[in-house]
Amino acid sequence: MGITDILIGLKDKVLDAATYELLKRNFELLEENYQQLKDKVEFQKEEIERLKAENLHLIEQKAGLYAELDMSKAERTFFTQDGLVFRKGITGEVEPEPYCPKCHEIMSTFDHIIYMCVSCPYTISLKRKLSEIVAELSNEE
């Protein structure tokens, strides 16, 4: 039994016709608002469930991407040769850039003989060309 049913029961007993019509219209509007709010709540519940599922999917995806990143980092191995550190890339080939053995920053050079670290005071003078060292490392694989 709704509120408008109660109002119909009161018609002609306590209320005059004008007051009855006014109350009836107000109750009808309240009932419509109540239904709209009920529908919105239902929609919001469904939306919350959808967002929870999407969030769970994104969390799983993020974990997978972090695992891939960790594997990628692990696949890039560093090793020392002739006083410089080199890195093996994801594809397995030796990358031609030399790294500092102390801080693992990329070394710089002006003459391709003397290599200097830009982060620490490490400097080395190579006895052979960098390309020869890289070629030798690539052949060792």
Q: Each residue of 29-51: pLDDT tens digit?
A: 999 999 999 999 999 999 999 99
- The identity of residue 7, as a single letter, is L
Domain limits of the chain?
Answer: 3-73, 76-140
Closest CA to 133 of 90, 99, 92: 99
Query: Which residues are bridge partners to 140 per DSSP?
Result: none
Quick one: pLDDT at residue 75? 53
Number of Cβ within a 10 Å radius of residue 51: 10
Backbone CA torsion sign across 46, 49, 53, 56: positive
> Per-residue pLDDT for 58 more than 90?
yes
